Structure 1
C-alpha cells in the first residue's frame, strides 16, 4: 500500500507545486494546468483517507471545486461534460463561500480503495480530478476561481 503523504510530497517537490497539510489529516496540492498560450492556470485538489468507506475498506478521497451551484448552472451540459473523467465523477456538496456563508458547490471527486492504489494510478487520478474540475470551472463558472 502506498504512503499517500510521501507520494504527494515527492510529486509536489518534483513539479514545484504548493502542498498543504491540515491538522485533520487532509492534504492539498495546487496542480498547474498549462494553457495553449503557454501560461498556467492552477487547480487545487484536496485528499484524505475515509476509513471503511468502500465496503469496509479505506478509500482515498480526492476532491476539487468547479464552482458554486446556482439555478443558472446548465446541469444537462455539465453532466454531459462530466464524462471527461475515467476515475472521477461530478457531484454537488454542501460548502461555504469565501465569506463563510453556506452554499452548494459543484466538485469533481474520486474515491479509490487505498490498498489497491498504485503510485501511478494515484498520480493519474490526482491529475484527472484537477483537469476535469478545471475544464468545468472554465466552461460553467467563469474561469479560474478555485
Structure 2
C-alpha cells in the first residue's frame, strides 16, 4: 500500500479523533444500544436500530483512521532546510499577476485540506502546479475558471 503524506498537525488531529471515538463515542453508543434493548422487541425498536447504525459508522471511522495512520508518512517541514522550494507541507505566499491579490496556502494531505483555512490538498491543481517551483518563480496554473498566473513571493517551512 502506498504511503500517504501527512503533516504533523494532520496526524495529531486524526489521533485526537480516534481517541474521542474510542474513549467517548464508542461507550456512548454501547450504552444507547443497551438502553434500547431494554425496551423490548428489537424488530420494531427504532432507537435500537439507530444506535446500531451509529455503531457501524463509528467502527467504520475507527478502522479508516487506524488504516490512514498506519499508512501515513508524517512530514515535518520545520525539520527540513528551507531552500525556497515548494514541497509538501510548505506554506506558500502567492500574488495573482492579473489583480495583485495575495493568497497564502499550506500544502497538506487530502484529509487535512480545507480551502477556507488556506489548507490545500497536495493533489489539488494548485498544489500540483506549485510543487517543485521556487520563490520568485512565476507559475501558470489551470483552475476551473481558466489559467491563472501567480508569482511565488514566499515559501515557508513552518
TM-score by length of 1: 0.26
TM-score by length of 2: 0.24
Greater strand fraction, Structure 1 or Structure 2: 1
Greater helix fraction, Structure 1 or Structure 2: 2
